[in-house]
Chains A and B, each alone.
Chain A
């Protein structure tokens, strides 16, 4: 209603039509009701357990409590206590002096939520730089993957700009044995491919009409936006307060929430998507629809009550198959690449000399040997 660019509590510009403004209003009211339920836990900074906690988190954690609740839920508090007090600072120092990702991180700093009132300030960028550099040396196998810039920035915004909290929650999400599926951000995105294919399978089972339509126009989950969901964890696609609400449940229940929300978005906007007959337009429609999801209560209601049961065991079974497929394909891909490189090298040097041919043979042999697949690990 009010003219001019208004901003949400995190400093993002709000773009709403009237219906969406009304929905925001409603959600804000239900959120303040939730705040009274959290008061007693907040007083002692201790969380209830089991079903009670799960239910509370599903209804949304009051923004002012997220800093302590998220660090607790994610395991960040515990993780931090297992390390020396200055661990984060040490990682920052190491990252600043020796991260192989300095350049890539630097490139992305100004390109992370450029419209956000705080992230775009010198202070915001410096904080983001330190968190990302620290992470990149803390977990050098993964280092820095584009999309982590959005995660780190969202965490800083949610956690009172505490770098250390943001760092530890990021670690708890991504490190081996963390909340997200293994290797989601790895150097070939293996885990992300597995997640996107598993989602595809769930969509086929739960929204068969939509899935058939998408298949017929060559639009798979990756194209429709699964990279926003699986890698950016909704921070780049949903309005900030809605994305935070997804994280409340994600940190409390784990990755199945990512699937639930994806299915809820697809289901809520099924008609809009069915009306498109080109993968690009489907993607555009999905982006528009997601950006307008200010009714976080409605979205989460569909996610929890509208997409049927989703036992973790089922997801894990699907993942096992997809993991095997993805590994075979990625291995083939890298072998092809090595073979091509070997051939072009030999051609460049001495195309038909016996030396050229035998070195070509060696390179081909090596390329094959290098791809004896490593045993598949499952979670």
Chain B
């Protein structure tokens, strides 16, 4: 706080079911825009955004949501300092998928990874099928930040990223990005976790 050190880079990945609103959240955060029809993401898209007050530059990977693209995800979350797992509050299945992502990150991701859970499309509360209480309880149990967001009406979008920025360990975030060293479809085994994550040394 009050730190005016150099800008630190932090790799952040967005995960979640197709159509949950990952790309829309990123676009809202990075460019302040929203499109009713946001092109489906194939593979992953890369965007950056600096929050000068927090001294952080987010390097954001917005991934593809369809189940079959799951095998590509480790490539993007490997070495990430933070993750935002997104679900659509009008779609219970997307919440179940979000839980799976959290589990996978807990097991395979960087152990110091900061995770946020975003219940998106909060503007559609009338069609809600996941309650805020339910999601909040789950988030608490798993030490995740939780926000109900709307990319469409710009509710709590900046908050998600600000929370993360504040919690980033300065030293860890400053570490250079570790090369991922080629494609691996298999997730690293839990024993190797410490070795393979870039932010485990403080």
Contact A280 B59 (CB under 8 A): yes
CB within 8 Å of A: which B34-90 residues = 35-40, 42-44, 46, 48, 59, 61, 64-69, 71-72, 75-76
The bracket for how many chain A residues form the interface is 35 or more
Q: Interface majority SS on A: helix, strand, loop or mixed?
A: helix
Give the complex CA separation of A281 and B40 in angstroms.
Answer: 21
By a CB distance below 8 angstroms, the chain A residues around B192 are none
Best-surrounded residue of A145, A146, A196, A222 (most CB of chain B within 10 A): A146
The reply on B178 being an interface residue by CB < 8 A is: yes
By a CB distance below 8 angstroms, the chain A residues around B66 are 104, 145-146
CB within 8 Å of A: which B159-181 residues = 177-181
Known: A104-B66, A108-B40, A145-B66. A326 touches B61 (CB 8 A): no
Contact B180 A220 (CB under 8 A): yes
Q: Interface majority SS on B: helix, strand, loop or mixed?
A: loop
Give the complex CA separation of A114 and B44 in angstroms.
Answer: 18
CB within 8 Å of B: which A182-230 residues = 185-189, 193, 196-197, 200, 215-218, 220, 222-223, 225-228
Known: A146-B18, A218-B181. A189 touches B71 (CB 8 A): yes
Give the complex CA separation of A162 and B187 in angstroms.
Answer: 43
By a CB distance below 8 angstroms, the chain B residues around A217 are 177, 179
By a CB distance below 8 angstroms, the chain A residues around B64 are 146, 227
The reply on A149 being an interface residue by CB < 8 A is: yes
B21 CB to closest chain A CB (Å) equals 11
User: In chain B, what residue has the closest Cβ to A109?
Assistant: B37
The reply on B185 being an interface residue by CB < 8 A is: yes
By a CB distance below 8 angstroms, the chain B residues around A187 are 67-68
Contact A216 B183 (CB under 8 A): no
Residue in contact with B39 in the complex, picked from A112, A200, A223, A227, CB distance below 8 Å: A112
The bracket for how many chain B residues form the interface is 35 or more
User: In chain B, what residue has the closest Cβ to A229?
Assistant: B43
By a CB distance below 8 angstroms, the chain B residues around A315 are none
Give the complex CA separation of A193 and B186 in angstroms.
Answer: 12
The reply on B19 being an interface residue by CB < 8 A is: yes
By a CB distance below 8 angstroms, the chain B residues around A231 are 42-43
Contact B68 A145 (CB under 8 A): yes
Contact B35 A227 (CB under 8 A): no
By a CB distance below 8 angstroms, the chain B residues around A185 are 68
CB within 8 Å of A: which B17-39 residues = 18-19, 35-39
Contact B68 A188 (CB under 8 A): yes
A149 CB to closest chain B CB (Å) equals 7
The reply on A26 being an interface residue by CB < 8 A is: no
Residue in contact with B19 in the complex, picked from A107, A278, A284, A336, CB distance below 8 Å: A107
By a CB distance below 8 angstroms, the chain B residues around A340 are 107
In the A-B complex, the 3 residue pairs with the closest CB atoms: A227-B43, A218-B179, A114-B37
Residue positions of A touching B, CB distance < 8 A: 104, 107-108, 110-114, 120, 145-147, 149-150, 185-189, 193, 196-197, 200, 215-218, 220, 222-223, 225-228, 231-232, 236, 278-281, 283-284, 326, 329-330, 332-333, 336, 340
Task: Give 27 CB contacts A-B under 8 Å.
Answer: A107-B19, A110-B36, A110-B37, A111-B38, A114-B37, A145-B66, A146-B40, A185-B68, A196-B183, A200-B182, A216-B179, A217-B179, A218-B177, A218-B178, A220-B75, A222-B72, A226-B43, A227-B64, A232-B42, A278-B177, A279-B46, A279-B177, A330-B71, A333-B71, A333-B187, A336-B187, A336-B189
